[in-house]
Amino acid sequence: MEFELETVTPMFMGGADPRQSELRAPSIKGAMRFWWRAMNGHLALDELRRQEAEIFGGSGENQARRSSVSLRITPAVIPAQDKKENLWDELDKISKGKSYKSPSPKSDGIFYLLYSGMMPNQEKAYIRTGFPFKLIFRFDKEENLKHAVAGWWCSVYFGGFGSRARRGGGNLRIISIEDKSNKLKTLLLDFIAKGNTSEEVANWLKANFTVAKNIVNEGKEILSISDYSNLIGSKFIIAQTYKETWIESLNEIGQIFKKFRTGHKSEVYDTAVFGLPILHRNRHITVKGRGKDHNQVFERRSSPLIFKILKVDQNQYYWFVLRLEGEFLPKDSVIKAVGTQEPDYKLLDEFWGKLKNKGKEYSLSEDKEGEIKK
């Protein structure tokens, strides 16, 4: 089973050396695992881990086993002309001397979202946009393959790959599929994005997510859980009109996010729910999470918001923001800076409300009659 793909946004993926970019099958499988977990709202945490190990492989006591699904990428080595060293070369910028660069209004939103890959004089290598490659699936058990490709669908259409994956980095587009085994036909899962309008694209996403979710949870009752990031009750907002380049689209949503965050940068504790850590350089403060046991410190916490670019057809690029459900910090944890404060989600809700004025909101969850759950 082969998927022909292309990169839609710059992909910061590689090994230990940030100056070298490469496509890594383990990174792609890691994303598949995450999205497979996110679709499981019917499993307790221990059972979730057991089933995940059965499909994707595992290690440790009672879970050590090899994966029943393997991935291979072609080309195995990225051609030199497709590996880029500095994203600034692609974007509009203001240069002041040889070493100082600043984004222009045509790129400042992208710089805000992809900051860690673009820090002046610390730029990370990346795989260029429009780079074509193939992902080949091999499998031992057909049932496990179904679960893996459901996770793969969510990985492509809800997330990204590599560094800055939650901020628009490493987005992909599926161009075509070669399925000599005819296994995909029985799943009724469409892997080629479709829609002539924003609403049609949104409805395509919702319909296929429902198929993917039913493959994973096998029609079981969905519970309200908070132990891990999930898609139960999740909503997304999509741009009402498309742009003709990824740069225009990502820059637009980046500017919206930057304007909001900049307007609230003094709210040290409340902005923590957008992701940890937060470094306030002017105050020499690093914001982290701290557990009920004061010795437990949460250095990193992923943002519940995922920004991405969906490419439909040849030149339709829609920005898209997904809001994940689930626990940001464990129960009784606090945000720690100079003092401590319980997590407060009011700014997250406020941003979501403002974003609805820029796009249109949809719910991923529907009941049997097709009504959106409140």
In order along its 374 residues, the chain shows pLDDT tens digits of 999 999 999 999 998 777 789 999 999 999 999 999 999 877 888 889 999 999 999 876 666 678 889 999 999 999 999 999 999 999 999 876 656 678 999 999 999 999 999 998 889 999 999 999 999 999 888 889 999 999 999 999 999 999 999 999 999 999 999 998 888 888 999 999 999 999 999 999 999 999 999 999 877 766 666 678 899 889 999 999 999 999 999 999 999 999 999 999 889 899 999 999 888 766 578 898 998 777 788 888 899 999 999 999 889 999 999 999 988 888 889 999 888 999 999 999 999 999 999 999 999 976 433 333 32
Nearest Cα neighbor of 299 from 265, 329, 269 is 329
Pick left, alpha or beta for residue 247 (phi over 0 → left; psi -120 to 50 → alpha; otherwise beta): alpha
Residue 181 tokens read as 């085994």
Could you tell me if residue 278 is inside a domain?
yes
Q: Show the domain range for 339.
A: 2-363
Q: Which residues contact 350 (CB under 8 A, 6 or more apart)?
A: 260
Could you tell me if residue 320 is inside a domain?
yes
Q: How far apart are CA 246 and CA 248, in angstroms?
A: 6
Nearest Cα neighbor of 271 from 202, 351, 204, 217 is 351
Per the listing, tokens 């089933």 go with 51
Q: Tell me if 145 sits within 8 A of 182, measured CB to CB.
A: no
Three-state SS string over 292-317 comes to: CCCCCEECCECCCEEEEEEEECCCEE
Could you tell me if residue 373 is inside a domain?
no
SS3 of residue 105 by DSSP = coil
**Cα atoms in the 13 Å half-sphere on the side-chain side of 233:** 10
pLDDT score recorded for residue 279: 81
Nearest Cα neighbor of 69 from 3, 148, 182 is 148
Could you tell me if residue 245 is inside a domain?
yes
Q: How far apart are CA 89 and CA 84, in angstroms?
A: 9
Q: Tell me if 291 sits within 8 A of 297, measured CB to CB.
A: yes
Nearest Cα neighbor of 362 from 318, 321, 317 is 321
**What's the whole-model pTM score?**
0.92
Could you tell me if residue 372 is inside a domain?
no
Could you tell me if residue 94 is inside a domain?
yes
**Cα atoms in the 13 Å half-sphere on the side-chain side of 317:** 22
Residue 108 tokens read as 């400042």
Q: How far apart are CA 21 and CA 197, in angstroms?
A: 35
pLDDT score recorded for residue 329: 87
Q: What is the pLDDT of residues 11-55, one digit of tens each?
A: 999 987 777 899 999 999 999 999 999 998 778 888 899 999 999
Could you tell me if residue 151 is inside a domain?
yes
Q: Which residues contact 164 (CB under 8 A, 6 or more apart)?
A: 12, 113, 114, 116, 117, 170
Could you tell me if residue 369 is inside a domain?
no
Structural domain count of the chain = 1
Q: What is the pLDDT of residues 215-234, one digit of tens each?
A: 998 777 666 666 788 998 89
